[in-house]
Structure 1
């Protein structure tokens, strides 16, 4: 028995050279990366500013935090949620035909390649750049944020939709065709039930991401709570910064909890 085990171990390929080579490549990349980054240390005022930020978070402006006008934290958070929600809905709906056009088994290799190339171009441009472009077209405000969220959502969502489409059970469709079902019936009862759960789970996950991105987009004037945050930081109003950050933390935790539970229920049927 021991001889058989030893023979099997001897026949197993020696991967030591491969592991050493991979380690050497990673080490070379690490050294190259370190030489390309200049570490300047901490600014002379850095510790003071960090202390002021921490003090502002620990002693927030409660009046600003609970002010229910259009300039208070609750309204700004609500506007941020609306931007992320509408952007996710529009982007997810637009991603459905894009995902089908990316599927080589459905539209053929030529159209699939063109759509995939276009999608790569869309995904290459950062959301920050889209926000700046849309602000030039529509002017500053939440509308530019919604358009930005919609475009940036198409890139990731359509890719995940495509993975779901490629996993469709063709046996079900063949059985329905043998039973005499028409195209509409095959889509309604054979395709949609297989795609709906995963599509919805992907949309919820993207909304979670868009909520964070919508905060960043506010920095360029695309609506939401980002603009008041950067204005407060530039004016050294750290108590207002603390109020905004506390509101953001609570909002992200609540959305994260709801989205995790929703995706867990969808995964479990």
Structure 2
């Protein structure tokens, strides 16, 4: 007991630091509350919120079963295709950048330069990339795919690097000692260690891209976002309800499937 008390007394007194931290957090919280402007909440705003909820309860069922290009199923498939293709392209392009930014694979100066480039890519929001590509390629799904690819590169490369830097180098050294070629070291030494983790990261990114693809549609980069904003601007709340129900179902299905696949990858 005396040893415990002695150890307790030797612990530094962090009370002042904790009080200062709490005070700063309270100041930041109070400053954040100042951004809330309740006077902007008008009767019209509450009416619109009520209409959106009513639209979700009483959706336009004809849109949910419409298999033409203006129907919800087609728009959801287009949104998912944009997210999927953008994720695939981004995940492939991110692999060499990840290896170039891994300090245990390449010299540190090169790794720092590539990491700085990846930070720049991640700094710009997806919607800004979308607006840029729309100017280059015109509105449509292709701009959405390019945006998803570029946004995916930034995040996937960062997550890949974390996995690569945990790579067991001793396996590669053992393979080199028995005369394995570079391709054999990659095939039997690197890929088995990285493949499952890389696939899990890519699935997670696809989950995020599916939501981002919906937002990109608002600026004309294809998908279901554009019909959603048009319906809201025209106060067609039953159409808004149909689109939101479709989005919720799609995201729930993708979330369920991605969790199942990631769980299998972890167990495997």
Q: What TM bracket, shorter-length normalisation? A: over 0.9
Worse-matched range after superposition: 98-107 or 153-162: 98-107
1:182-193 → structure 2 map (5 Å cutoff): 182-193=181-192
Q: Please tell me whether the aligned partners of residues 103 and 165 of structure 2 are also in contact (alpha carbons under 8 angstroms).
A: no
Paired positions, count: 268
Distance across 2 between alignment mates of 1:69 and 1:198:
39
Q: Does 1:122 align with 2:125?
A: no
Aligned to 2:214: 215
CA deviation after TM superposition for structure 1 residue 9, in Å = 1.6
Distance across 2 between alignment mates of 1:248 and 1:44:
28
Aligned to 2:87: 88
CA deviation after TM superposition for structure 1 residue 105, in Å = 2.5
RMSD (Å), alpha carbons: 1.2
Distance across 2 between alignment mates of 1:149 and 1:61:
30
Matched position secondary structure for 1:105? coil
- Given the two structures, how large is their TM-score scaled by the length of structure 2? 0.96
Distance across 1 between alignment mates of 2:98 and 2:3:
51
Distance across 1 between alignment mates of 2:61 and 2:30:
48
Aligned to 2:5: 6
Aligned to 1:180: 179
Aligned to 1:166: 165
- Given the two structures, how large is their TM-score scaled by the length of structure 1? 0.96
Aligned to 2:258: 259
Q: Gapped runs of 5+ residues in structure 1?
A: none
CA deviation after TM superposition for structure 1 residue 64, in Å = 1.0
Distance across 1 between alignment mates of 2:35 and 2:66:
47
Distance across 2 between alignment mates of 1:106 and 1:69:
51
Distance across 2 between alignment mates of 1:36 and 1:65:
39
Aligned to 1:196: 195
Aligned to 2:140: 141
Matched position secondary structure for 1:20? helix
Q: Does 1:231 align with 2:230?
A: yes
Distance across 2 between alignment mates of 1:229 and 1:35:
31
Aligned to 1:72: 71
Distance across 2 between alignment mates of 1:33 and 1:68:
46
Distance across 2 between alignment mates of 1:57 and 1:11:
61
CA deviation after TM superposition for structure 1 residue 157, in Å = 0.5
- Deviation by residue 1:69-126 (Cα, 9 ceiling, x = unmatched): 1110000000001000000000000000110111122221222122111111111111
1:37-48 → structure 2 map (5 Å cutoff): 38-48=37-47
Distance across 2 between alignment mates of 1:251 and 1:5:
56
Aligned to 1:17: 16
Distance across 2 between alignment mates of 1:37 and 1:114:
41
Aligned to 1:247: 246
